[in-house]
Amino acid sequence: MYNKVVRVDAIKISLKEVSSLLLKTGSLAQWQLTHANTQLTREHTFKTFEQTWGFLTQVSMRAHLLGHHPTITTSYNKVKIDLTTHDIISEADKQSSAISDIDIKFAKRIEKYLELYSSK
């Protein structure tokens, strides 16, 4: 994982820890575990096309700064974001991705961006 400001290695988060964060942390309650528990997924519907792209611009700039790029699917006012870290091997099924501390931090940041649009 590469952070444009400082090189930071990703730390794998266990499934138990991720599940606990999703249940206990109100800000991540809308996120779901997908792809054999190696990915965090969030879907959101905005009021307008303009809000959708304003949000996506913020996410893309943050992704660039972090050097951590989500998979984003969008259609007019609907957005789906998938977060995973490809630099980590998942022991469960030997896949070359898992959820890391960087995914959790990015998910929390995305939630802050979403809060900006929920009040509009």
Token representation of residue 108: 């929390």
- Is the separation of the CB atoms in 74 and 52 below 8 Å? yes
Place of tokens 């206990």: 24
Contact 79, 56 (CB under 8 A): yes
The per-residue DSSP string of 4-42 comes to SSS-----B--HHHHHHHHHH-GGGTT-EEETTTTEEEE
Instruction: Give the confidence band of 1 by pLDDT, cuts at 50, 70, 90.
Output: very low
Q: Which residues contact 30 (CB under 8 A, 6 or more apart)?
A: 42, 44, 111
What value, to the nearest 5°, has the Cα angle with vertex 35 and ends 49 and 48?
Answer: 5
Domains of the chain: residue spans and CATH: 15-118 (3.30.1360.20)
2-41: pLDDT as tens digits: 455 566 778 888 888 888 877 666 678 889 988 888 899 9
Question: Mean pLDDT throughout 46-71?
Answer: 93
With tokens 């030997």, the residue in question is 94
> Which amino acid appears at position 56 of this protein?
L
Instruction: Please determine, for residue 93, whether its predicted confidence score (pLDDT) is greater than 70.
Output: no
